[in-house]
Amino acid sequence: MVWKLDRLGRNMLHILQTVKELTDRGVTLVWTTDGIGSSTAAGRLMFGVLGSLADYDRKLIKEVHCA
């Protein structure tokens, strides 16, 4: 179980690599805040989309603090 997707990695690429490595080992991830799992194609798609949004959010926060 994962509380928030952005807790899996430092950026989108790292998150997707982590999800792939765990899935290849037979681990099914469930993102508890939204009830999305990696066991279905739709769930994996949502991991990608929401992971991209988490990466965007992280970068936006960094830009605001550095401006």
CATH code of domain 5-66:
3.40.50.1390
| Unique residue bearing structure tokens 């991830």 | 29
In the chain, where the domains are located: 5-66
Q: What percent of the chain has pLDDT over 90?
A: 3
User: Cα separation of 56 and 54, whole Å?
Assistant: 5
Quick: pLDDT tens for 10-40: 777 787 788 889 889 999 888 777 778 888 8
Name the pTM for this structure.
0.60
Q: Where are the beta strands (DSSP E) in 1-67?
A: 30-31, 36-37
Cα separation, 37 vs 30, whole angstroms: 4
Q: What is the pLDDT of residue 25?
A: 94
CA distances (Å), 42 to each of 37, 48, 50, 62, in order? 9, 10, 12, 30
